[in-house]
Chains A and B, each alone.
Chain A
Amino acid sequence: MTTNKVDDDFDHLDPDFPGHILETYREFRDECPIKRSEKHGGFWILTRHEDVTAAIKDWETFSSAAGVTLPPFGNIVPAIPSESDEPRHADYRGVLRPFLSPRAVAHHESYVRGLVTKAINEFIEDGRCEAVGQIARQVPALVTARLFGFDSESKALQCMDWLSTMFDSHDDPAAQGAAAIAITDELRAMVEDRRRNPRDNDVFTAILNAAPALGSFTEEECLGLVFTSVVGAVDTTVSAASHMLKLLAQHPDARARLIAEPELASTAIEEVLRMEPPAQQAARTVKRECTYEGQTLNSGDRVMLLWGASNRDDRVFANPDEFVVDRQYNPHLTFGGGVHKCLGMHMARLELRVILEEVLRRLPDYTFDGTPPDPLLKGGHMWSLPYLNLVFAPGIKEEVVLPAWTP
């Protein structure tokens, strides 16, 4: 069956797409397991959990090196490790991994909690807040910048402003260009500084000292490793935190259970990630011809992997449209999978858990103030809430214990 929603003109950048995103995903999964769109130079679409999982694990067929966005994004520095293949990918990932392991990120928990405490203090006496700006946006940028060795909170915030300009000011290309130059200059200065003044437990120092298989990393690679990590860390986590707060307001029974049984935080967070993946999709490029369901995919063809559709595949998830706070088998693809599985996932989970704990402790009774907004699909992939107005019983400010900026 072909309908207007699943015809060859499927375009994830169509402003109407988010309004019927789940119906579209269901039709693709059930009626057309491999789908072709002629938009953006043409691409294949995979949606079923089994197919998407197989594709991300088969990196030799489905390459990342030719870009993981559709249409391609104009990178100012190499988008690595995301846009690279083995064996180089392993070098890139290996140098960042020690900073993002579950044990490494645990050292940042007290800083995360300090940020959340401070953010909640700003509005707790008012009995209302705008949670995207006043909670979700207050955490990931600073945590990420601190982890990657930016010199100060003010420098970090300046860099995040430049990133916002780069990614969001489409009506002002001059400002976008200036912001891109400013942030790369800043990262270049950090590299230069670490060449002269190596630091302990510092990402740029580790990158400069790394001895990958093909010799040392170039300066562009040094910049790309940190730039890509920072870009990948911020909007995604803001999105997940925003959706988490929205879902818990929509499901008061689940929230009451979480308050009574705080040990359910882990399964609850995975369920948020399954239902509302911040990145709805990613792209790959076919490296060697293959066939699927009678279709031939040629070398060079682009393929879209729709995580958002896989995460609601009823072949894998029982009652996929229900928010099940204690869902146990939950192999969602929100962090991707295979060799490229999100390196920042442990940090993202830590931030989400601390936000969850502090919000449920200090504004446990919050409800929507007005009608909550529908999500936007920024750039065709970033599932964002524009705002989220909440009301609750006012509380009191608490002492903020914010550990030193330099870990």
Chain B
Amino acid sequence: MIDNRINTSGSGVAGLRVHVNWEACESNGLCIIAAPAVFDFDEKENLQLVMPEPSEELRADVERAVTNCPKQAIWVSDEA
């Protein structure tokens, strides 16, 4: 299985980058509701960051996921 927790899609292109504190994450899944294109569970309910560098159109979804995470385990950065 590919470990989606590691950012393997590094395109090097400027833009949004999503980060998850995996120590804090408890797989509440509220980020999946907010940003279903970016987050998902694997078959054992472990959260997966399936799109670590989402396009700009997904910024509002990702910011909603950041706000809704009850563990405050998600943050975003803008790569130059």
**Residues of A bordering B, CB below 8 Å:** 94, 97, 101-103, 106, 263, 266-267, 270, 328-332, 337, 341, 345-346, 349
Contacts and interface: CB of A to CB of B under 8 A. Distances in A.
B68 A266 contact: yes
7 contacts: A94-B44, A97-B45, A103-B36, A267-B68, A270-B30, A270-B70, A341-B27
A330 B70 contact: yes
A332 B32 CA distance: 19
A257 B29 CA distance: 24
Interface residues of B, number: 21
Contacts of A270: 30, 70
B32 A102 contact: yes
B8 interface: no
Interface residues of chain A: helix, strand, loop or mixed (majority): helix
Contacts of B36: 102-103
Nearest to A264: B67
Interface string B47-80: 0000000000000000010011111100000000
A101 B48 CA distance: 13
B33 A102 contact: yes
Contacts of A328: 67, 69-70, 72
A329 B71 contact: yes
A106, A266, A329, A337: which has the most chain B beta carbons within 10 Å?
A266
A229 B71 CA distance: 26
Nearest to A337: B26
B18 interface: no
A346 B39 CA distance: 15
Nearest to A267: B68
B74 to A, nearest CB: 11
B32 to A, nearest CB: 4
B73 to A, nearest CB: 10
Top-10 shortest CB links A-B: A266-B68, A330-B70, A102-B32, A102-B29, A329-B72, A270-B70, A331-B71, A102-B33, A331-B70, A328-B72
B41 interface: yes
B34 interface: yes
A111 to B, nearest CB: 17
Given A266-B68, A270-B70, A328-B72, 18 more contacts: A97-B43, A101-B29, A101-B41, A101-B45, A102-B36, A102-B41, A106-B33, A263-B64, A266-B67, A267-B68, A270-B30, A329-B71, A331-B26, A331-B70, A331-B71, A345-B28, A349-B30, A349-B33
Contacts of A106: 33
Interface string B3-19: 00000000000000000
A94, A97, A102, A345: which has the most chain B beta carbons within 10 Å?
A102
A93 to B, nearest CB: 8
